[in-house]
């Protein structure tokens, strides 16, 4: 998968990690990351050498499982994105994020 990222031009909407999803004491819960197959979350309709345009919605506090120094970027569903996920622009990895109780952190 080739990389071609676009940052949104409009102001960012609400973050998926809202206060309602935090613990009673106001301390953010740690997310559990699971690797996803990029081909399962992103449609590749053009040739493999053609870059896929993804709109990212900023960086999150979590870092890549493969590249611990790389912060992940939030990618919501869009034209060629089937599933909202976290994306590493260094290794092109895609990750699902959920809480310890199993509920998804990327659905509203």
pTM to 2 decimal places: 0.68
Residue 15 has pLDDT above 50, yes or no: no
Q: Which residues touch 108 (CB under 8 Å, ≥6 apart)?
A: 16
In 10 A of CB 24, how many CB atoms? 5
The pLDDT value given to residue 30:
80
**Location of structure tokens 């959920």:** 98
What is the greatest pairwise CA distance in the chain? 50
Confidence category of residue 53, pLDDT binned at 50, 70, 90: confident
In 10 A of CB 87, how many CB atoms? 24
Residue 47 has pLDDT above 70, yes or no: no
Q: What is the pLDDT of residues 67-102, one digit of tens each?
A: 989 999 999 988 888 899 999 989 989 999 999 888
Q: How many residues does the chain have?
A: 108
């Amino acid at each position: 998968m080739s990389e071609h990222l676009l940052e949104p031009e409009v102001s960012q909407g609400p973050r998926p990690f809202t206060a309602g999803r935090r613990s009673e004491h106001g301390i953010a819960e740690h997310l559990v990351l699971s690797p996803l197959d990029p081909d399962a979350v992103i449609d590749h309709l053009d040739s493999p050498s053609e870059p896929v345009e993804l709109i990212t919605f900023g960086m999150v506090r979590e870092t890549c499982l493969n590249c611990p120094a790389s912060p992940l970027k939030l990618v919501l569903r869009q034209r060629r994105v089937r599933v909202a996920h976290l994306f590493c622009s260094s290794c092109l990895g895609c990750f699902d994020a959920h809480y310890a109780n199993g509920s998804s952190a990327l659905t509203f």
